[in-house]
Structure 1
Amino acid sequence: MRRASSKKTSSNSTTSTNSSAMDLFRSASGKAATKELERIDQLFYSYSNESSGMIDPEGIEYLCSDLEVEHTDVRILMLAWKMQAEKQGYFTLEEWRKGLKALHADTIVKLKKALPELENEVRRPSNYVEFYSYAFRYCLTEEKQKSIDIESICELLELVLGSQFRQQVDLFIQYLKTQIDYKVINMDQWMGFYRFCNEISFPDFNDYDEELAWPLILDNFVDWVKSKQS
């Protein structure tokens, strides 16, 4: 009986020790997370506008300067995607926290180091479709706006697809700037061009079938390219 009692006491002692160690770990982790959040907030306030309580276009320019990137660098758009920023050119505190916590970046040095990793994350096919779609929505600056003017679309295409599909993007931009039928591009047309780049052989278009559900603008684009080739 004594032996059983001894074992029980030993077991309770071990459990108590493990529990204490876990409590200490949780406490330390909680304090570290709190400190990290404080530093993330401090970084936010170093760029935010006091009157609006947000990082505005001017603040983003200062941020880009400290990150040593151009404000037109695609990685800034990727950073906005990571934050799930809703308004073009503005970051709220909650968006900032969401993005920087995910990147484990509570200083400008850490954020700068995180940019290449962020780019690799976005470039994964499973994420890129979401990013490409987000890029369009991010540029909808007016309430109930559903389309983007041709000039802005050309700039956006260059930014998000230019490095991957150089020839297709160059030709499509050339077409968009010379055609007169379309003044704006909608989401369906935007996503259609991404699928077009990924699925259709270029520049012969041998596997392009106009009978399939492609946006009409792409039918016209293919006809335009073929007329230039003949």
Structure 2
Amino acid sequence: MRRSSSKKAQQSSVNSSATSKAVSKEMERIDNLFYVYADKSSGMIDPEGIESFCSDVEVDHTDVRILMLAWKMKAEKQGYFTLEEWRRGLKALRADTIAKLKKALPELEKEVSRPQNFLDFYSYSFRYCLTEDKQKSIDIESACELLDLVLGFQFRPQVGKLVEYLKSQHEYKVINMDQWMSFLRFCNEISFPSLDNYDEELAWPLILDNFVDWMRA
């Protein structure tokens, strides 16, 4: 009996040693992949490295999936990936080669499209565009591009009209986080294009009141 339990302990120790070996091998491959694209002097993947990476995974650098990948890595600076961010994202996706990464992208899209994840991704995409210290808003042009990218595939009619309105009005030069989050709430809650359940008495930002007036006119 004792011999069988010591055998089990040995087997379990062999298994855990094999697992930790596999994990460290996986991390080694993830790291090696990072250094293929990283800039030697900064030790980060910069915009040039990202372009080269996108070409290898056969995805355009303006594709929403690259933003989803940045979200998965919790990347902080637009156009740059640190080794720690890269490890975090690729480990979570269980992708230590370009081939595995290509296969992981459709799964990542599914993950982001779950409502709770999408809310997080949507607010992340705004913060990711704040490139200056203490910046709290993004210009209308960038906001329109971002809306199109992150919300366009789910709410094409609403986003089309919202972008048209934002580009034609002259009152607002920038969009802040509160307005940005309200756009998503608007798309989720308001009947479109009838807008018959839009109530201006509720706490909508003024920019959406103006948009609804513009639509009704």
TM range (shorter): over 0.9
Residue 150 (1) aligns with residue 123 (2): no
Query: How far apart, CA to CA, are the structure 1 residues paired with 2:25 and 2:128?
Result: 31
The one of 175, 187, 211 aligned to 1:197: 187
Query: How far apart, CA to CA, are the structure 2 residues paired with 1:63 and 1:101?
Result: 17
Query: How far apart, CA to CA, are the structure 2 residues paired with 1:36 and 1:163?
Result: 34
Identity of aligned residues (%): 71
Query: How far apart, CA to CA, are the structure 1 residues paired with 2:170 and 2:12?
Result: 68
**Structure 2 SS opposite 1:70:** coil
Q: How many residues align?
A: 217
Residues 178-189 of structure 1 correspond to what in structure 2 (within 5 A)? Answer: 178-189=168-179
Residue 161 (1) aligns with residue 151 (2): yes
Tell me what 2:96 maps to: 106
Query: How far apart, CA to CA, are the structure 2 residues paired with 1:39 and 1:196?
Result: 44
Tell me what 2:21 maps to: 31
Tell me what 2:3 maps to: 13
Q: Which has the larger radius of gyration?
A: 1
Give the deviation of 1:14 after TM superposition: 2.3
Give the deviation of 1:110 after TM superposition: 0.6
Query: How far apart, CA to CA, are the structure 1 residues paired with 2:45 and 2:141?
Result: 26
Extract structure 1 runs of 4+ deviating beyond 3 A: none
Q: Aligned letter for 1:160?
A: V
Give the deviation of 1:19 after TM superposition: 1.1
Tell me what 1:124 maps to: 114
Q: Aligned letter for 1:105?
A: A
Tell me what 1:84 maps to: 74
Give the deviation of 1:104 after TM superposition: 0.6
Query: How far apart, CA to CA, are the structure 1 residues paired with 2:144 and 2:41?
Result: 34
Q: Aligned letter for 2:151?
A: L
Unpaired runs of at least 5, structure 1: 1-9
Give the deviation of 1:217 after TM superposition: 0.5
Tell me what 2:85 maps to: 95
Give a deviation string over 1:131-173, Cα, whole Å, max 9, x none: 0000000000000000000000000001001111111001000
Q: Aligned letter for 1:145?
A: Q
Q: Aligned letter for 1:91?
A: F
Residues 48-87 of structure 1 correspond to what in structure 2 (within 5 A)? Answer: 48-87=38-77
Unpaired runs of at least 5, structure 2: none
Query: How far apart, CA to CA, are the structure 2 residues paired with 1:70 and 1:142?
Result: 25
**Structure 1 SS opposite 2:86:** helix
